[in-house]
Amino acid sequence: MRKPMAVANWKMNKNGEETRQFLRDYMAQASGITGAEAVICPPFTLLATVQQEIGSPAALARGAQNCFWEDKGAYTGEISAPMLKELGCSYVIIGHSERRLIMGENDEQINRKLKAVLQCGLVPILCVGETLQQRENKAALTVVKNQLDKNLQGLHVQPGQLVIAYEPVWAIGTGVNASSDDAQEMIACIRSRLRELFNDELASATRILYGGSVREDNAADLMAKPDIDGALIGGASLEADSFVRIARIIAHG
């Protein structure tokens, strides 16, 4: 049984006081959300604040938005997986479309990052997805399969050690989300590809999330689909009450 996830990706938002207020509001409202795992992924500068404020890691798991593939060294501006683990992180988002498209990350780099995260005992949340042009050209499935093949090449993964997030690039931050049927179709294909690359046990155990303008008004429809195990939430995760309401929807399926 895959426990669904509500993952908040704050991107480059919030300062220390805003983060502390969010956490106070979240903890006041989130009691009883036991049917889903809630994860918060703030900017690097706020990870220590989150660690200090939350206390019990069971209340709200922590994740980072990225990491480098080496443990240490002369890599100015980078953060390593061991550093993130020391700050209480359990998850690391890898390969988000904004990093692929804006920062120019390629599949080889993403593969190296995944290996580093797994080696450190953290769980990567691998993001895959197509652009609008690729979807209009009927290439969406091919693009996502190629990303999976290249990103997961040479990885030794056990059930529970990997999360996938399908994020159609054209739906991120636009207010336009993929239909639940489109999301289910792609996520079912992702699960099938995991079965081909690894085995049935890993494919069946891997949680696959949808990301792309997830809101309260579409979360229930998405969660009604059999292969969708939660959401990677952007803008709607910046307010505690909104994030809590979506997490409750995810928890109750």
Band (99; pLDDT cuts 50, 70, 90): very high
- For residues 173 and 235, is the Cβ–Cβ distance under 8 A? yes
- For residues 213 and 173, is the Cβ–Cβ distance under 8 A? yes
How large a percentage of the chain has pLDDT more than 70? 97
- What distance lies between CA 120 and its chain's CA centroid? 18
- For residues 60 and 40, is the Cβ–Cβ distance under 8 A? yes
Whether residue 181 is predicted with pLDDT greater than 70 in this model: the reply is yes
Band (8; pLDDT cuts 50, 70, 90): very high
Band (31; pLDDT cuts 50, 70, 90): confident
Mean pLDDT of 68-89: 97
Band (246; pLDDT cuts 50, 70, 90): very high
- For residues 51 and 18, is the Cβ–Cβ distance under 8 A? no
Active-site residue among 96, 98, 105, 130? 96
Domains in the chain: how many in total? 1
- Which pLDDT score, from 0 to 100, does residue 1 have? 82
For residue range 9-20, list pLDDT tens digits in order.
999 999 999 999
Is position 105 annotated as part of the catalytic site? Answer: no
- For residues 116 and 67, is the Cβ–Cβ distance under 8 A? yes
- For residues 94 and 114, is the Cβ–Cβ distance under 8 A? yes
- For residues 37 and 61, is the Cβ–Cβ distance under 8 A? yes
Query: Any idea what the CATH number is for the domain that residue 199 is in?
Result: 3.20.20.70
- Which pLDDT score, from 0 to 100, does residue 14 have? 98
Band (57; pLDDT cuts 50, 70, 90): low
Is position 252 annotated as part of the catalytic site? Answer: no
Question: What is the average pLDDT score of the chain?
Answer: 94
Helix ranges, 165-225 (H): 180-197, 200-205, 216-223
- Which pLDDT score, from 0 to 100, does residue 33 have? 86
- Which pLDDT score, from 0 to 100, does residue 213 have? 87
Q: How many separate helices (H) and strands (E) can be counted in the chain?
A: 11, 8
What phi, psi does 80 have (nearest 5°)?
-100, 165
Domain that holds residue 24: 5-252
Active-site residue among 37, 98, 105, 167? 167
